[in-house]
Amino acid sequence: MRAAVVTGLTLAALYLATLAPDVALWDAGEFSAAAASYGIPHPPGTPLYVTVARAWDALLPGVSPAIATNLLSAVTTALAFALLAALVARWMGAARYGVAAAVCAGAFASVWRIAVEAEVYGPALLLAMATLHAGDRAGAEPDARVRRRWLALVAYLIVLAVPLHLTSLLAAPAAIVLAVWIDPPGRASHATGRIDARAALLLGGTLMATVGVARLSAVLAGIGFALVVVGGLAMGRPAENGNASDPAARRTSAPRRAAVLVAAAMVIAASALVVIPARARHDPPLNQGNGATVVAAAAIVVREQYQAAGLWPRQAPPWLQIGNLFEWADWQVAGALGPGPQPTLGRTTVTLLFAALGGFGAVAHLRRDRRSFGALLLLLVCGGPGAVAYLNLRAGPSFGVGVLPDDAPHEARERDYFFLLGFTAWGAWAGVGAMALRDRTSRRAFRAAWLAVPAVPIVANAPVVWRSDADAAVAGDLATLLLESAPPRAVLLARGDNDTYPLWYQQIAEERRPDVVVVPVALLPSEWYRAELRRRHGLEAGAVWRGTSTALLTLAHSATAGGRVVAQTPMMPRALWPEAGARWRWHGLVRVRTSPGARDARSPEVSTEPAIAPTTVSSAAALEIEWRLRRQGAASDARASLAGDPLRPTVDATARQLRKLLLCAGLETGRWRPPPGAPLLAPGCVPP
């Protein structure tokens, strides 16, 4: 308990001090909007997360939905590592081991980033650690009746990953090992223990049962099948089925009652999926997939919209996928020594030292307790190489530059957060290794130094992970600028996540400019979304999908016929501008479609003259825009230079790119001019 309290308070203070002050980029805006409206975000819908976030938001009156959901991530992540600290302290027999392991892992860069913004991964980590804790208690419980209750809880938590997030399922094999490898009372701490046949049978069936609800890898399904076989064979051997002196083990009805209890727990956990069709029928403002029917809800849960790749063929060569994992691992410990994605001598050296420290910690753990060592090793494998095999990702955006062909497929963003559980196992062993070396050191000064080693990631990652400043406000600033620049009742075309989700958040959660219809072009191929535009706004993008260009042209004509103006964010590439020959003119920081050109042009014409008089933007809005631009260092004085961008380097350059894009848009509209000697408008300010 002491290790859990110290770790929880330490990491909670760290996360709260560095919490994002507003809506963040990528999925954060959508999750905050879903919490504010009890809506349905993108597949797999995460109904349990949205339900918890909605309740959490209601418990914090006066706090903006963005801050509330950011706080939810911080609190749940801190609780997750508090549970990890308690586990490691029990396994290693000392509180300092638990604190060192959990603090080290909790300060890894990928974990820290998801802990300070609205993301589903904080609650998912908490569920994974709770599953491990329940498995550990099930294996250590001497009373068969109490053990059945812990087994039911393990089954419940495993299936609960489906309505929360499938990341938690990567902890299921490790939890099952802890549950089936029972820990007889009075045994030596290094003993092997024995397999509980009923636990193997029931939990193996639980793991296999989730295949019908969610897409699982063959590895996890195979583990479940193997446990069922082993448990079934062992059940036929009474002499090996537990302690013969235990009356509960001799009763033939005990396995049956355990099976019923586990099945009931699974059904209760899966019932959270009902939230999707129940809410979809009320058509909340955020209703991705419109899962009002059982079939549509199932399509959301299995991510049918994304057409997730199977295990084969590989979307990238296996060596590249493993190499990408090592690249992301190199970002975890000492980001300040190499803020960019490329490896540096200092950062990679520290990474290798912590890898060696983790190896030493694994050996110390093995000598202390084989059972929990096996579970943590399985967590490392499933959360690392196992996730690589299961996810079958393309190369990350920064991986293979100069090596891969220019047209090689890449992921839309860095996917290091998919491997949180693998990094957690590594960080835990690194903390254990530091404490083991400390215990083997005789000199007092050196012993004190080893105590500080688990805190190295805190110091070495803070400069690149810190979110509690203006750098983290770019998403909210961007959305405000775009909405206030849009003409009344505009149909605003957006390109992707980073110019869509912040806009949704501002409209749904902050109730800003509800007259503007934000249309993410990436969603137009989905029939449910075209139907939503027709149902809610009377806009037609085509009943039958005939390509993006046709859909955009149809949408533009429909909007014009309805008296609406078509506008687009600066992030829209020229290839997606609807109707070649149309004129696009700046209005604030959005481009507005005016009228078709008289000549047949291959590319739209852009004018720096505003299509609508600037007076249509209220003076208050204009002042707010100007203030926010000054806040971003883009005012019409010497700070307008692109070279003066104050953003700190990071492995994800999205915020920097958006800040520069806003500056470029300001330069193009003539709202401000660079000072003498400043760089001219850089190529690529307007996406080609």
DSSP string, 552-578: HHHHHHHHHHTTPPEEE-TTS-GGG-S
Question: Is the backbone peptide bond immediately before 488 cis, with ω within 30 degrees of 0?
Answer: no
| Per-residue pLDDT, 607 | 39
DSSP string covering 419-459, please? Answer: GHHHHHHHHHHHHHHHHHHHHT--SHHHHHHHHHGGGHHHH
Which pLDDT belongs to residue 662? Answer: 63
Q: How far is CA 24 from CA 27, 94, 499, 503, 561, in A?
A: 8, 39, 11, 11, 36
Average pLDDT on 414-425 reads 96
| Confidence (pTM) | 0.86
Does 555 score more than 80 pLDDT? yes
Question: What is the pLDDT averaged over residues 616-640?
Answer: 39
Question: How confident is the model over 376-401, as a mean pLDDT?
Answer: 90
Per-residue pLDDT at 332 exceeds 80: yes
Please give the structure tokens belonging to residue 407: 């047209």
Mean pLDDT across 500-520: 94
At residue 472 the predicted structure's pLDDT band, cuts being 50, 70 and 90, is low
Mean of pLDDT over the chain: 81
Query: Residues 600-618: what's their mean pLDDT?
Result: 35
587: which strand partners? 590
The pLDDT of 321-347, averaged and rounded, is: 93
Q: With 70 as the cut, is the pLDDT of residue 190 above it?
A: no
Mean pLDDT lowest among 250-259, 351-360, 593-602: 593-602
More confident residue, 181 or 6: 6
User: Quick one: CA torsion of 89, 91, 94, 98, rounded to 10 degrees?
Assistant: -30
* Sheet bearing 566-568, strands edge to edge: 517-520, 491-494, 566-568, 590-596, 582-587, 605-607
Tell me if 269 sits within 8 A of 157, measured CB to CB. yes
Q: What is the pLDDT of residues 36-90, one digit of tens each?
A: 999 999 999 999 999 999 999 999 988 999 999 999 999 999 999 999 999 999 9
DSSP percent split of the chain into helix, strand, coil, nearest 5 = 60, 5, 35
pLDDT-based confidence at 169, cuts 50/70/90? confident
| 45 contact partners, CB below 8 Å, separation of at least 6 | 276, 288, 289, 291, 297, 300, 301
State which amino acid sits at residue 121.
Y
- Which of the residue ranges 302-306, 335-339, 574-578 would you say has the lowest mean pLDDT? 574-578
At 601, the pLDDT band (50, 70, 90 cuts) reads very low
Q: Which of 597, 436, 402, 579 shows the shortest CA–CA distance to 93? A: 436
Output 666 or 94, whichever has higher pLDDT.
94
